[in-house]
Amino acid sequence: MKDFLQFDKMITPAIITIIFYICSGISILTGLIMIINSGQSYTPGLQILMGFITLIFGPFAIRIYCELLMVMFKMNESLGKMASDRNEDKESLQ
């Protein structure tokens, strides 16, 4: 609890994971709805194609975006470790 209150532990990576699953579900659902509703379109073939593209590539695009966000947090974590190691080295030299 102390790490949480002092902002030593980030909760955003856990939130990003939840957002990934929610957005992937929405992407899959949207793709399915596009395929199902293709009969009501003037261009049903294009609607089915766009539905499959959304169904397949939507979760991949969301995953890539979430991974890019996670990289930022991992970089922050690594920089924090490097800074604390450097401070420990300075203290041991004195």
Q: What local confidence, expressed as pLDDT, does residue 55 receive?
A: 94
**In one letter, which amino acid is 90?**
K
Give pLDDT tens digits for 26-77.
Answer: 999 999 999 999 888 888 999 999 999 999 999 999 999 999 999 988 888 8
Residue appearing with tokens 């401070």:
87
Q: What local confidence, expressed as pLDDT, does residue 30 receive?
A: 96
Give pLDDT tens digits for 4-13.
Answer: 777 767 788 8
Q: What local confidence, expressed as pLDDT, does residue 2 receive?
A: 76
- How far is 32 from 39, CA to CA, in rounded Å? 13
Residue 88 CB contacts under 8 Å (≥ 6 apart), including other chains? none
Q: What local confidence, expressed as pLDDT, does residue 94 receive?
A: 65
Q: What is the DSSP string of 36-52?
A: HGGGGSS-HHHHHHHHH
